[in-house]
Amino acid sequence: MNTDHGLIRDLAHITDGADKMTALRARLAAAADRDGILDIAYRIIDSPVGPLLVAATDRGLVRVAYAREDHDAVLQQLAEKISPRILRAPARLDTVARELDEYFDGSRHTFDIALDWRLSQGFRSTVLHHLPEIDYGHTASYATVAKLAGNPKAVRAVGSACATNPLPVVVPCHRVIRSDGAMGGYLGGVEAKRTLLALEAAA
């Protein structure tokens, strides 16, 4: 019985420590935001396609990353490409989390959040800007997207743009499939692509 009591005390101590750490992170994030030294805020959200890292700057959502992309590596890339002043600040991404939750439960078909496009350049950026033109619940071939982007011969470049999309789910590269109806590749994995398409079809 004493052992059980000791275990309960240990668990309570661990929980209390976790709560204090969460509170400390929140205070640090608030202070960094107030002092203008927080350039990138991020949080991890649960989803039907696994945990997603979402990160935002003062311009808008800049990154959505699947677990298979390695969240630590993604944060390192953000530090190198944008700014090392990154902090886990969930409150800054409440609107992003809410819109993603609504998307995953089928009640949201388009996103209203501001986007920071700086991680995509040139023709890749042009391609990504056209992807929201593919309606919710529909798909388009790589060739069709190449035409939308103004270069019908650039089918492979469209595939490259989709494979390096820094804002998957929100910028719907999962709706781009091969001309023969096959899934094609997807940075979140083919199963994630199937899940997103099935979710939209069901809604």
Task: Exactly one of 148, 161, 173, 196 is catalytic; name it.
Answer: 173
Q: 86-99: buried (b, 16+ CB within 10 Å) or exposed (e) per residue? A: bbbbbebbeebbeb
162 is annotated as an active-site residue: no
Cα 133–chain centre separation: 19
Q: Which residue type is seen at 120? A: S
Token pair belonging to 111: 């996103």
d(CA 60, CA 161): 20
Q: 157-167: buried (b, 16+ CB within 10 Å) or exposed (e) per residue? A: bbbebbeebbb
Identify the residue whose tokens are 């099935």: 198
Catalytic annotation, residues: 173
